[in-house]
Amino acid sequence: MNRRSLLWILLTLLVASYMYYYYGYKGKVIQLVSDTGVITSVDFPSKSITVKNINNEELVMICNKKTTVLDDKEQPIEFESLLPSMYIKYNGYRSKANEDLVVILTSIQLTDVSDILLLSPSSSSPIKSFPIVLRGYVRTDTHQTYKLYINGFDQGLINPIKSDSSNVYGMFECSIALTREMLHDLEAVLEIKIQPSGDGKAFTRQYKLEWMKKIELYFGNSKMNPQSEDCTSVFPVQREILALADPSDIVHLLIQGPSASEKEKGYYSSLPFGASINRIEKKNKQISVDFKSLHASGACQIDGILSEINHTLISAYPGFTIITTENGSILSP
């Protein structure tokens, strides 16, 4: 083969390569993508992830056989090791074939790997319902144990669900029923702390509690029962109270009596304002209320007191038996 023929072949290959790039790859690619973000969801069957980038945009990204997946030490890992809440840097492209602008990934690398990944509750939203359901992942290849604390109260160990996948993380889910002791004076702040054994760094996150519930307080009403023929006739008004409120909170609201606007509508309380309480106990489907002194002035007032307390507490705790006493003695007309 002479030099002219060789040059002709090289020129033909160069032109063919350019034509392939221009009409092939370049014609398919709309935009190259390179950025960092956090994984918000993973779909294992389709090998796709949703990523929120630094501009707070959510992008759907697809992995294929050519996608390189690396950990934070640049070691190859399986796609199944990718989890929500992981921070990554990625490279890929959008093509004309993807009308919905899905990104085809060429590489993914983890940039921040934590021993604990908490999926819910979400850090961006207040907690509005109880019991609290914690869902997340903990590393299982380090043989650490993980202890859970709610507002400093030890809730025991987190037990991850065992998985047969190659993923080094184990998923966990646990339900937490809050108690009054966990909240300081009903402050609407909750701290979740997960402490790994050994020298592991604790995971701590704080949330606001915004879940209130409506209850009904029952009072007498001079306009709805003008002749007061039935001393036990009581009528409901609504109040909002923290969902973790107990019978003591409700009875104290009842002792405060109707609001000014409710009084204008005829509502009144048979309970003396400032009535003092010895104890209130909720146990075995029974609520016991023991007053220190009521200074009731007759059978009708006592009937009204019992009716207000019974109707109010039964509306909040259906199926409970209510026992009202004064210094240990059953209150009766």
Find tokens 């507002």 and name the residue. Answer: 151
- Identical fold for domains 30-112 and 116-208, yes or no, is no
| Helix, strand, coil percentages in the chain from 3-state DSSP, rounded to 5 | 20, 40, 35
Are 80 and 43 spatial neighbours (Cβ–Cβ below 8 Å)? no
Question: Left if phi > 0, otherwise alpha if psi is -120 to 50, otherwise beta: which for 302?
Answer: alpha
Q: Kindly give the confidence (pLDDT) of every residue in the chain, 333 residues in length, as a single tens digit, with 9 standing for 90 and above.
A: 566 665 666 666 565 554 444 444 444 556 788 999 999 899 988 899 999 998 888 889 999 889 999 988 888 888 888 888 889 999 998 876 655 568 889 999 999 778 898 888 987 788 877 788 999 988 887 788 999 999 999 999 998 886 555 567 888 999 988 877 787 655 678 899 999 998 888 999 998 887 778 899 999 999 998 877 788 999 999 998 877 778 999 999 999 999 999 999 999 999 987 788 999 999 999 999 999 888 777 889 999 999 999 999 999 999 999 999 999 888 877
For the chain, the distance separating the N- and C-terminal CA atoms, rounded to the nearest angstrom, is: 123
Q: How far is residue 96's CA from residue 46's CA, in Å, rounded to a whole number?
A: 20
Are 117 and 147 spatial neighbours (Cβ–Cβ below 8 Å)? no
Give me the architecture of the 30-112 domain, per CATH: Beta Barrel (2.40)
Amino acid at 242: L
Amino acid at 9: I
Q: How far is residue 308's CA from residue 292's CA, in Å, rounded to a whole number?
A: 18
Supply the pLDDT for residue 35. Answer: 93
Supply the pLDDT for residue 19. Answer: 46
Enter the pTM of the model: 0.58
Find all residues with CB under 8 Å of 269, minimum gap 6, and list them: 219, 220, 254, 255, 257, 258, 308
Amino acid at 45: P
Supply the pLDDT for residue 91. Answer: 94
Question: Left if phi > 0, otherwise alpha if psi is -120 to 50, otherwise beta: which for 78?
Answer: beta
Q: Which residues of 31-59 are buried (b: 16+ CB within 10 A; e: fewer)?
A: eebebebbbeebeeeebbbbbeeeeeeeb
Report domain 116-208's class. mainly beta
Structural domain boundaries in the chain:
30-112, 116-208, 212-330
Are 29 and 38 spatial neighbours (Cβ–Cβ below 8 Å)? no
Q: How far is residue 170's CA from residue 116's CA, in Å, rounded to a whole number?
A: 10
Q: Where are the alpha helices (DSSP H) in 106-155?
A: none
Backbone CA torsion sign across 32, 37, 41, 47: positive
